[in-house]
Structure 1
Amino acid sequence: MANRRRSEGFGFFLPILGVILIMPPIVQLFDRGGSVFGLPIIFTYIFGVWLFLIVAAFILSRWLPQQDETPQRLERFDRDQDR
């Protein structure tokens, strides 16, 4: 249970981290003359943050334990059918 809460907390924090990382004051730190693999550093940074968020969300989705809600749904369905 504690592991699930920690994972959900990270799931809440991940979009906030993404917003912070793409805020203009942070992005402007990487607005320097130069390039990485022929791309300006600022583009490399933005796409790196984007890739990090995608990978982190994928890992988080695999890390969270799956809830089995099927029996509860079936019980509700059976009760509704009995009425």
Structure 2
Amino acid sequence: MASRKRSEGFAFFLPVVGAMLVMPPIVMLFDVDADVFGIPLIVAYMFAVWLFLVVASLVLTRGLPRAGADQAELEKKTVDKP
């Protein structure tokens, strides 16, 4: 149960962290005259943030049970009781 609450907490803060990472003050830190494999650093940063958010959400969704699982488990417990 604690693992579920922890995953729900991460799932709540993931969009907040994503929004903070794409705020102009932070993005402008990467607006320098540098390239990463021929790609401007600011573009590489934005792609890295996007990739991080996609992978983090994938990991979180794999860890969370389906929405109906709790309801089905609750119904099973109530049916089993005499």
Measured after TM superposition, the shift of residue 39 of structure 1 is: 0.6
Structure 1 Cα separation of the partners of residues 20 and 10 of structure 2: 15
Q: Which residue of 1 aligns with 2:11?
A: 11
Separation (CA, whole Å) in 2 of partners of 1:26 and 1:42: 10
SS of equivalent residue, structure 2 residue 31: coil
Corresponding residue for residue 63 of structure 1:
63
Deviations along 1:24-79, one digit per CA (max 9) or x if unpaired, are: 0000000000100111000000000000000000000111233524575xxxxxxx
Q: How many residues align?
A: 72
Please give the secondary structure, in 1, of the residue aligned with 2:11: helix
- The corresponding residue for 1:23 is 23
Greater Cα radius of gyration, structure 1 or 2? 1
Q: Which amino acid aligns with 2:60?
A: L
Structure 2 equivalent of residue 46 of structure 1: 46
Q: Unmatched 5+ residue regions in structure 2?
A: 76-82
CA RMSD of aligned residues (A): 1.5
TM-score for both structures, normalised by structure 1: 0.79
More helix by share: 2
One-letter code aligned to 2:58: F
Q: TM-score, normalised by structure 2?
A: 0.80
